[in-house]
Amino acid sequence: MPGTPRYRGLRRTANRTALMGAAEELFGLNGFAHVSIDEITARAGVAKGTFYNHFADKADVANHIALEIRNELRDRIGLMKSSSPDPAKHLAIAMSLFFLLAVKHPNRALILVSLINDPTDVNSPMNAPVRLTLENGEASGRFGIASIEAALIIVIGIVSAGIRNLIEQPTAEPSSRIANLIVHALRSLGLDWNDAYDMAIETVQKLS
């Protein structure tokens, strides 16, 4: 029948979406190590064999989820960055969006920091936007840094630790904590206190 290939394609996409949604929920609730493929397929409502039509193993689906989350954030960051040519502003926007993910969608944020591959590898394709921002900041004199690799490790370290802190030590007013984290990241890159503080406050207030 002419409609059969289209139907199968739609069903295949729906199955993959259901599996990723189930895995994301379970990883967020129980942690990666404590979730089985049987639990994922049961939550998704599909046969176990269907899982292997889409993913090699549990780690594969976890990495796909982490990449999907990070790519969504990258798209949002890209839209926001267009409003300013300042690399420091770009970094403040990116950090704000990662921290706000921890506040609004803690399961997704925890999956991101727990499962993404090569989080501090300066040559990792996933870190290319951060590296480019740091390089632009160094070239323009906006940042004063000893090395791109060291700066990247500091920034990603603050983001990763900040996400965990916002999840594990929630507060009714997270904006202040987020702004302080951004201030210290910008200060580590050479911005003076007032500049870093004003930029962090403005960015967090705009995005919150």
pLDDT digits (tens, 9 = 90+) for 170-195: 999 999 999 999 999 999 999 999 99
- 115 pLDDT exceeds 70? no
Percent of the chain topping pLDDT 90: 61
* Confidence band for 8, pLDDT divided at 50, 70 and 90: very low
**pTM to 2 decimals?**
0.81
- 117 pLDDT exceeds 70? no
**DSSP codes, 127-158:** GHHHHHHHHHHHHHTS---S-HHHHHHHHHHH
- 37 pLDDT exceeds 50? yes
Phi, psi of 199 (to 5 degrees): -65, -45
Tokens of 90: 């770009």
Query: Which conformational region is residue 190 in: left (phi greater than 0), alpha (psi within -120 to 50 degrees), or beta?
Result: left
pLDDT digits (tens, 9 = 90+) for 49-60: 999 999 999 989
Q: Which domains does the chain have, with CATH numbers?
A: 4-55 (1.10.10.60), 66-207 (1.10.357.10)
Tokens of 110: 């925890």
Percent of the chain topping pLDDT 70: 91
Q: What is the pLDDT of residue 134?
A: 95
From CA 56, how far away is CA 84, in angstroms rounded? 42
From CA 207, how far away is CA 19, in angstroms rounded? 31
pLDDT digits (tens, 9 = 90+) for 65-90: 888 888 888 888 888 877 789 999 99
Tokens of 23: 């895995």
User: Looking up tokens 């493929």, which residue turns up?
Assistant: 37
* Confidence band for 3, pLDDT divided at 50, 70 and 90: very low
| CB-based contacts of 190, cutoff 8 Å, min separation 6 | 142, 143, 144, 145
* Span 166-173, average pLDDT: 92
Q: What is the pLDDT of residue 70?
A: 83
Q: What is the pLDDT of residue 75?
A: 86
